[in-house]
Chain A
């Protein structure tokens, strides 16, 4: 029996942070040092802020906090979020992700923007043997099908 657990998360907050021209990422990190969120790098000078529990106006509050530094675009509804954990989680991810997930290439905290089964997905190594997978919301059913099929074959 494969050691794997898959949970679809709800109530989380996700927001794209777009630093204004000339603002270095360090300034964003500094401004958010006290905030209860994780900054996932998703592109050059681009972040996705993540918080496990978000109020409806979370992104608006975040934008106020970053006034003058960056714009914030709420994406809490843009993705569905799956938590995949267990000693077989990495095997499952590697079936889908065409990127190297070895410890050196994908250490704790690493983020990769890629695709699984032709579905755009952001993968985040959140804890030992624990990963978050965020496909675009509209693909949730198709992505779930891949997860179930691939997990059954472990």
Chain B
């Protein structure tokens, strides 16, 4: 496999080793050190992809992460990664790449007919086209656009690789390991600062690797390698190669993405594919360099048109000639260096065209000496051919010339990369001397150095790196004696920008990735979008994955020209994170699949799993929902059995997920009186009481019980869902509202495993299980509580009932929970002890009309829930005043009622709306909703709890339960919400 465009020598590639890879199924070769782009260019590949909107054939424009054109899909199958920039993808043996956005093939793409319809796809195309009719959006426009536009496609398979998060804290973060960044990092490390040096590339050195320069008597690459080795000797310095700092946030926090294993076929065992860093730095130095600007002219997107710096990079770093015969079109001095590089590597140079009337003689002389035509004050009018075959230019006199060429190197000037500085709101200012937007008055803890600050000369870059490091060092109170900087020269770097060259009548691109042309900018201005931010949104200029790094400033130049403003007046957009695209998987880290969020297990989880329990997610908790037994084919069979076994014998349910709070101190009673609507200070030791607390606005917040174990020792339970919120509420009350109250509080939700034991045989079971405890009705009456020791551990026994049965709750330290549940079942066999899950728990509480989460839903008041009479009139409490607002006490408010189907069999569905019989099923007729519904095995028919307007006085009426989503109206009778044992005889037995 020959590489006809590979130079015989030079570059940072290892010609002694050959790597094999494929592009669109065709085999190619390259060498270690290559990128996918450089290896393909070595084979003469010109066509890399198709553009977003017009499907224009596109080649490589850049040699860096700002590449807008050469986006490919890397790898295949589950590891396929679309929109990978071929210019940064490091070559490895066996790499598979494929082109995107083309059908049926890259060379012959049917969607290229979009170009013929280009008058339709002008600026503001979406806004103009989709005004009418609205229905056509879904059926016509959207599917059409989705097929026509877009980039690569996801594999749809689960990513087999892992991603992880990491954190770093440092005195100084240096972003970019070019000459200025390396100098800053080294000086800071010498001065004793802790430093993180993050560099996007696999090799440190930045553009030093792409230029023929001498620094301290060494080549740029050798100096960079030596400096990196010296940096590695400082333990307080961490070097992160292949790491892009993509965002800057408050308090010195930065987001960075490290491509740990992207350069390997597959990650090593255990190795993450990528690592998301959170880097907190006291100071930041941006040594992010500058990105070269293209020039806008007709056909400037044709494969073969390339940025001059990219041409130099392919020649010098990768040993690849991106063409056989080149033209250089420049608006600045650096383009001449590329011309010299082309000559030095033996590429035929057809012409050098400088848009400026003059250029330094030292740059021109060697080019002229080689016999190359030089057009000062010339311009390129059009690039012809796809791939490029000829360049049409005009000389200073206006005479047109045609140069046959397969490579056009364009140097439009440089844009300092200061997007990171802008993330916190600092927009770059126009700096006339370098004709670019650069950091103006930036954030105080950040400095830009080298090319990122418009200092393009090498000696100047080194000096600016040192100055910024010294400023950071001094600000952090450190210092050190530093050796002199290595000798380097400042190459000339004058620029006189050209925003549009030639007539720009055809396809003259400003934003390559989003296919925004010069005429789109003109049109936007005509239509009044003259602010840079409006221009961006109207034309989508700068909104592609390259974030406008390539084309944005050219767009601003055209906007300035069209509006008669200066670039300083025009300004530039505010950059936002991320600077480069970051895969969502990296943000997810290891939180995926089963570990999408952490799960919580109760102490009896293992035991329940052994019993074959079906688990349900309740917040983060896994709770046993029911325990199927052999022969049960439907969940209702299991749940009905569990309810019947509990109501007729004894059942056990793990209720450990309830929030638990220990309250200690002489003022706990006072605090509880203010938290709950009912009185607690009167609760005697050894007793528990049910309570309801309100939010400040008078809406019910949470319910639970409080038990007093000693004069100063109390214990509160909350609902599972509100455990953390109630703890916060208590801390706020005791620390902020009433700090003078002597109350200590600690969450003990995790400390205690609690089991509810309910049913007529509950007492018999406990007598057998805890023979040393007196559980008689006299010793432990309903709402009584006591402490005991179980196997030496503190334990608590409460006589509480949620099911309406004779019931107890027993708590032991969670580490003993598994042993306790096994003990209870070992002892409980003769009593027919049956485990029940949350479903049976829910059925029994609906049968008893207890409000739960469905009713404590953030809309209901105490009175709505039928608990209004609980509220004490002898005291103040949180929510009392606001609960008296007229709308809160309106008798027409929905109140808790029970519903039973009139036909005795039809299921009532939760979520159904209540309508008077005969009323039209419209919102105006709505009288309430069903909050909880189930089949009651105890009663033998469906039941439901509902919130019904004026419900308390409407028992006996019939009402329609209307279900517009699932269909099927049910006629129901309004009844008291307590369906079963309304006198509560069973729980006191």
**A113 within 8 A of partner (CB):** no
Residue picked from B590, B598, B748, most chain A C-beta under 10 Å: B598
A interface footprint on B247-273 (CB within 8 Å = 1, 0 otherwise): 000000000000000000000011110
Report yes or no: A94 in contact with B664, Cβ–Cβ below 8 A. no
Chain B positions within 8 Å of A6 at CB level = none
Q: How far is the CB of A24 from chain B (nearest CB, A)?
A: 15
Chain B positions within 8 Å of A105 at CB level = 169
**B595 within 8 A of partner (CB):** yes
Report yes or no: A75 in contact with B168, Cβ–Cβ below 8 A. no
**B791 within 8 A of partner (CB):** yes
Kindly report which residue of chain A lies nearest to residue B667, judged by CB atoms.
Answer: A21
Q: How far is the CB of A13 from chain B (nearest CB, A)?
A: 11
Residue picked from B590, B751, B813, most chain A C-beta under 10 Å: B751
Report yes or no: A56 in contact with B792, Cβ–Cβ below 8 A. yes
**B793 within 8 A of partner (CB):** yes
A73 contact from B165, B166, B662, B793, Cβ within 8 A: B662
Report yes or no: A153 in contact with B750, Cβ–Cβ below 8 A. no
Q: Which of B11-19, B599-607, B834-842 contacts A (4 or more CB under 8 A)?
A: B599-607
In A47-73, the 8 Å CB interface with B consists of 55-57, 59-60, 71, 73
Report yes or no: A100 in contact with B280, Cβ–Cβ below 8 A. yes
Kindly report which residue of chain A lies nearest to residue B656, judged by CB atoms.
Answer: A138
Where chain A touches its partner, the secondary structure class is mixed
B598 contact from A56, A77, A119, Cβ within 8 A: A119
Chain B positions within 8 Å of A137 at CB level = 603, 750, 814-815
In A100-154, the 8 Å CB interface with B consists of 100-102, 105, 117-119, 136-143, 145-146, 149-150, 152-154
Q: How far is the CB of B34 from chain A (nearest CB, A)?
A: 28
Chain A positions within 8 Å of B600 at CB level = 136, 138-139, 142
Chain B positions within 8 Å of A117 at CB level = 589-591, 598
**B167 within 8 A of partner (CB):** yes
Report yes or no: B748 in contact with A73, Cβ–Cβ below 8 A. yes
Report yes or no: B590 in contact with A71, Cβ–Cβ below 8 A. no
CA distance A12 to B914 in the complex (A): 56
Chain B positions within 8 Å of A16 at CB level = 746
Chain B positions within 8 Å of A99 at CB level = 167
Given contacts A78-B814, A95-B167, A102-B169, contact A141 B601 (CB under 8 A): yes
Report yes or no: B665 in contact with A138, Cβ–Cβ below 8 A. no
CA distance A142 to B168 in the complex (A): 24
Report yes or no: A95 in contact with B792, Cβ–Cβ below 8 A. no
Given contacts A56-B792, A143-B598, contact A76 B744 (CB under 8 A): no
Report yes or no: A95 in contact with B748, Cβ–Cβ below 8 A. no
Chain B positions within 8 Å of A60 at CB level = 794
B interface footprint on A12-40 (CB within 8 Å = 1, 0 otherwise): 00001011110000000000000000000
Given contacts A77-B816, A95-B167, A153-B162, contact A118 B794 (CB under 8 A): no
A interface footprint on B698-718 (CB within 8 Å = 1, 0 otherwise): 000000000000001100000
B744 contact from A20, A101, A140, Cβ within 8 A: A20
A153 contact from B272, B595, B745, B749, Cβ within 8 A: B272
Residue picked from A55, A79, A117, most chain B C-beta under 10 Å: A117
**A97 within 8 A of partner (CB):** yes
**B312 within 8 A of partner (CB):** no
Report yes or no: B270 in contact with A94, Cβ–Cβ below 8 A. no
In B751-795, the 8 Å CB interface with A consists of 751-753, 789, 791-794
In B129-177, the 8 Å CB interface with A consists of 162, 164-169
Given contacts A18-B664, A75-B748, A149-B162, contact A98 B167 (CB under 8 A): yes
Q: How far is the CB of A93 from chain B (nearest CB, A)?
A: 9
Report yes or no: B590 in contact with A145, Cβ–Cβ below 8 A. yes
Report yes or no: A77 in contact with B814, Cβ–Cβ below 8 A. yes
Chain A positions within 8 Å of B744 at CB level = 18-20, 71
Report yes or no: B602 in contact with A138, Cβ–Cβ below 8 A. yes
Report yes or no: B599 in contact with A141, Cβ–Cβ below 8 A. yes
A94 contact from B167, B597, B751, B794, Cβ within 8 A: B167
Report yes or no: A149 in contact with B601, Cβ–Cβ below 8 A. no
CA distance A55 to B748 in the complex (A): 19
Q: How far is the CB of B958 from chain A (nearest CB, A)?
A: 46
Report yes or no: B598 in contact with A76, Cβ–Cβ below 8 A. no
Chain B positions within 8 Å of A79 at CB level = 750
Q: How far is the CB of B269 from chain A (nearest CB, A)?
A: 8
Which of under 10, 10 to 19, 20 to 34, or 35 or more describes the interface residues of B? 35 or more
CA distance A79 to B749 in the complex (A): 11
Report yes or no: B598 in contact with A153, Cβ–Cβ below 8 A. no
B813 contact from A71, A76, A95, A118, Cβ within 8 A: A76
Chain B positions within 8 Å of A138 at CB level = 600-602, 621, 750
Q: How far is the CB of A9 from chain B (nearest CB, A)?
A: 12
**B742 within 8 A of partner (CB):** yes
Chain B positions within 8 Å of A19 at CB level = 744
Report yes or no: B167 in contact with A76, Cβ–Cβ below 8 A. no
Report yes or no: A118 in contact with B162, Cβ–Cβ below 8 A. no
A74 contact from B597, B712, B813, Cβ within 8 A: B813
Report yes or no: A57 in contact with B167, Cβ–Cβ below 8 A. no
Kindly report which residue of chain B lies nearest to residue A2, judged by CB atoms.
Answer: B270
Report yes or no: B751 in contact with A142, Cβ–Cβ below 8 A. no
CA distance A143 to B712 in the complex (A): 36
In B854-888, the 8 Å CB interface with A consists of none
CA distance A139 to B602 in the complex (A): 9
CA distance A137 to B656 in the complex (A): 12
CA distance A19 to B857 in the complex (A): 37
Chain B positions within 8 Å of A119 at CB level = 598
Given contacts A78-B814, A152-B270, A153-B271, contact A21 B792 (CB under 8 A): no
CA distance A57 to B793 in the complex (A): 6
CA distance A117 to B166 in the complex (A): 11
Given contacts A20-B742, A77-B752, A78-B748, contact A140 B169 (CB under 8 A): no
Q: How far is the CB of B192 from chain A (nearest CB, A)?
A: 12
Report yes or no: B813 in contact with A77, Cβ–Cβ below 8 A. yes
CA distance A146 to B592 in the complex (A): 12
Chain B positions within 8 Å of A95 at CB level = 164-167
CA distance A78 to B813 in the complex (A): 8
CA distance A138 to B166 in the complex (A): 24
A21 contact from B164, B589, B597, B742, Cβ within 8 A: B742
CA distance A98 to B165 in the complex (A): 10
CA distance A149 to B649 in the complex (A): 47
CA distance A88 to B614 in the complex (A): 40
Residue picked from B603, B665, B713, B746, most chain A C-beta under 10 Å: B746
Residue picked from A18, A19, A55, A137, most chain B C-beta under 10 Å: A137
Chain A positions within 8 Å of B750 at CB level = 75, 77-79, 136-138
CA distance A105 to B162 in the complex (A): 30
Q: How far is the CB of A57 from chain B (nearest CB, A)?
A: 7
Q: How far is the CB of B606 from chain A (nearest CB, A)?
A: 10
Kindly report which residue of chain B lies nearest to residue A106, judged by CB atoms.
Answer: B169
Kindly report which residue of chain B lies nearest to residue A60, judged by CB atoms.
Answer: B794
CA distance A139 to B621 in the complex (A): 9
Report yes or no: B598 in contact with A139, Cβ–Cβ below 8 A. yes
Given contacts A71-B664, A73-B662, contact A78 B164 (CB under 8 A): no
Q: How far is the CB of A99 from chain B (nearest CB, A)?
A: 8
Chain A positions within 8 Å of B389 at CB level = none
Given contacts A74-B813, A95-B166, contact A18 B599 (CB under 8 A): no
Q: How far is the CB of B96 from chain A (nearest CB, A)?
A: 25
Kindly report which residue of chain B lies nearest to residue A150, judged by CB atoms.
Answer: B164
CA distance A137 to B814 in the complex (A): 8
Q: How far is the CB of B171 from chain A (nearest CB, A)?
A: 10
Known A74-B751, A100-B280; further 5 A-B contacts with Cβ < 8 A: A16-B746, A57-B794, A73-B746, A101-B169, A145-B595
The contact sample of 25 A-B pairs, CB cut-off 8 A, is A18-B745, A20-B744, A21-B742, A56-B789, A56-B792, A71-B664, A75-B746, A75-B751, A76-B815, A77-B750, A77-B753, A78-B748, A79-B750, A96-B165, A102-B169, A102-B194, A118-B598, A136-B750, A141-B599, A142-B598, A145-B590, A145-B595, A149-B164, A153-B271, A153-B272
Q: Give the top 7 A-B pairs by smallest Cβ distance, nearest first.
A: A152-B270, A138-B600, A56-B792, A18-B744, A142-B598, A77-B813, A77-B814
